[in-house]
Structures are given as structure tokens and as C-alpha cells.
């Protein structure tokens, strides 16, 4: 599906390098997507929320793996929500995700989750900085949220050699496996910057796909697009942060997305479909 593939590559060029745009080898067998582990209370974990791909809906994204993906090749009006770092840990947000069955993917960064250092003040003053540490992400996972890899310390990976990049990525995967009970399949490079060493390191750490994004969501729920026409497009991946007022901003954002006729998708189910889809 040429349209989907070219969009992926165009977005990669904007975000960073073009290394991953070369189509190549056959897809390896798909691992089971990350699913929720049993909740601390012992109750059954929630099934992942969000719409699932219809048969034949999703275009194939070719390897080599890890693939670098900025959007999902589909014509359906569906977008995907991803949330990074983990500084602000408002318990109200976990309730919101659980009760409203909102599909999100969280990219956890160790120093944020453990509140080692100071969060970016751009989102306002935090009330819940590091409040729940890894328990917060365990609760999200029990609510059906995949917890994925966003490094240990949030470096600019272009400034690091392969071994240092591997330490950041493998270290975070090991930590998340220990703390959450599921090993990450996805990696999001801080600032969206990466090199060919990043892809090699991610592969060595068991990462299946590197996830970028097509638009960021600012405080107040405002969408900042990376495309000139400033519109949501089918398959867009939106990036938010665990910032103060996330619950409020999230309500505004979800309303806005639905008003425009879009649904929220299950990212893991869609990614699986990009591997399985026949080349058309």
C-alpha cells in the first residue's frame, strides 16, 4: 500500500533520519502484543480499549525491523493516543482511562517515573510529580494500557554511541519488565531523534517497532500538527505528556477528536495488522 508507506517515510524525514525508509526483508513472526498483567487486587485485567482494525483495512508496513512508524496506513477515521515520560501521576487520570475505556499507550521514562530531577515546567506546576512511581504505571497497565520504552534518562540519542544507546534502551526494557511484568515491544526515542545505531540497539534489546508521531498535544488540549494543512488524518499518532492538568486536557482533546468524526484506536492491534496485511 504505497500511500501508507510513503506517509510513514515522509514523517520519518521530518522527525529525524531516513534510515528506516528502505523497505526490505520479510517480516519476522509477530510477538504477542503487550497486554495487561493481573491487577494488584488480583482482579482480571481490563481488555485493551479502542476500535480494532477491520479485515483488510490496514496497509502493510514493510521491515526491516524495528520499523520506524509515524502513522498507521488506514483510510478509516481513527487516531491513536500516546503519552510520554511520566512525571505527573494524577490518580484521577487513571480513573478516567479505566472508567471511560480510553485507549492509550504509555512510553515510560525511568527518571520521570521515579521523579529523579525536575520535569519540564512547560505544562505548569505539578501536584502529583512522582506520586505513585511504578505503581502508577502498574495501575495504568491493569486498566489496559501498554507500558512501553522511552529510555532511562531521556538523552538525545544522536549524541551517544551504540553501547551507550543500548544501555539506555535495554536498561529501560529490563526495568519495565521487572516493574510491570511485561517486556516492551515499542520504543520511542526522546525528541524523536535517532541514528542507525539506535535501530541496531533497539533490535538487540528486543524492540519490535520504533514509534514516532504526527502531531503533539499542548496544554489546553490544542493539537500542534507536523503537517502544513493542520488537520487530523486517518492513522495519525498523537503525542501527549504526563503533565499537570492532563485529565482536563484529555477531556478537551477526546471531545475534539470525536467532534471531527474520528474514533480512538487500539494501537497494538493496528500495529499487528500492519505486519499481517498482504502487500497490495
Which of 84, 88 has the CB closer to Zn ion? 84
**Which segment (73-81, 83-91, 194-202, 269-277) binds Zn ion by CB under 5 A?**
83-91
Pairing mode of beta strands 104-108, 209-211 = unpaired
Which residue among 71, 84, 115, 217 contacts Zn ion (CB under 5 A)? 84
How far apart CA 198 and CA 202 sit, in angstroms, is: 6
**Which segment (6-14, 46-54, 82-90, 245-253) binds Zn ion by CB under 5 A?**
82-90
Task: Give the number of residues written for the chain.
Answer: 280
CB of 137 to Zn ion, least distance (A): 15
Q: Could you tell me how many residues of this chain bind Zn ion (CB under 5 A)?
A: 3
Which of 85, 266 has the CB closer to Zn ion? 85
CB of 241 to Zn ion, least distance (A): 7
CB of 8 closer than 8 Å to CB of 68: yes
CB of 30 closer than 8 Å to CB of 272: yes
**Which segment (30-38, 183-191, 218-226, 227-235) binds Zn ion by CB under 5 A?**
183-191
CB of 232 to Zn ion, least distance (A): 22
State the DSSP H helix or E strand holding residue 68, giving kind and residue range, or none if neither. Answer: strand 67-69
Beta strands in 126-261 (DSSP E): 146-149, 186-187, 209-211, 215-218, 222-225, 237-241
CB of 190 to Zn ion, least distance (A): 5
Q: Is 85 in the site for Zn ion (CB under 5 A)?
A: yes
Which DSSP symbol is given to 106? E
**Which segment (3-11, 44-52, 79-87, 96-104) binds Zn ion by CB under 5 A?**
79-87
Give the alpha-carbon dihedral of 196, 8, 261, 58, to 10 degrees: -110
Name the residues that contact Zn ion, by CB under 5 A.
84-85, 190
Amino acid at each position: 500500500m504505497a500511500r501508507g508507506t510513503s506517509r510513514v517515510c515522509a514523517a520519518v524525514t521530518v522527525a529525524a533520519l531516513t534510515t528506516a525508509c528502505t523497505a526490505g526483508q520479510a517480516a519476522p513472526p509477530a510477538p504477542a502484543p503487550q497486554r495487561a498483567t493481573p491487577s494488584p487486587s488480583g482482579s482480571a485485567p481490563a481488555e485493551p480499549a479502542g476500535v480494532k482494525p477491520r479485515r483488510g483495512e490496514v496497509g502493510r508496513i514493510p521491515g526491516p525491523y524495528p520499523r520506524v512508524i509515524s502513522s498507521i496506513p488506514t483510510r478509516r477515521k481513527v487516531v491513536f493516543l500516546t503519552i510520554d515520560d511520566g512525571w505527573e501521576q494524577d490518580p484521577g487520570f487513571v480513573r478516567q482511562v479505566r472508567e471511560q475505556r480510553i485507549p492509550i499507550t504509555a512510553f515510560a521514562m525511568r527518571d520521570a517515573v521515579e521523579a529523579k530531577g525536575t520535569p519540564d515546567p512547560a505544562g505548569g506546576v505539578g501536584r502529583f510529580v512522582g506520586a505513585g512511581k511504578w505503581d502508577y504505571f502498574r495501575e495504568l497497565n491493569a486498566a489496559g494500557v501498554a507500558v512501553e520504552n522511552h529510555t532511562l534518562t531521556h538523552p538525545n540519542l544522536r549524541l551517544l554511541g551504540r553501547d551507550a544507546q543500548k544501555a539506555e534502551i535495554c536498561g529501560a526494557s529490563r526495568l519495565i519488565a521487572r516493574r510491570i511484568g511485561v517486556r516492551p515491544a515499542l520504543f520511542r526515542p526522546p525528541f524523536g531523534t535517532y541514528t542507525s545505531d539506535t535501530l541496531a540497539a533497539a533490535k538487540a534489546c528486543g524492540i519490535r517497532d520504533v514509534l514516532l508521531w504526527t502531531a503533539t498535544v499542548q496544554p489546553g488540549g490544542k493539537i500542534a500538527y507536523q503537517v502544513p494543512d493542520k488537520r487530523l488524518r486517518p492513522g495519525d499518532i498523537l503525542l501527549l505528556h504526563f503533565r499537570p492538568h492532563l485529565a482536563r486536557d484529555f477531556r478537551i482533546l477526546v471531545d475534539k477528536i470525536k467532534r471531527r468524526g474520528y474514533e480512538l484506536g487500539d494501537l497494538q492491534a493496528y500495529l499487528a495488522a500492519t505486519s499481517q496485511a498482504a502487500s497490495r
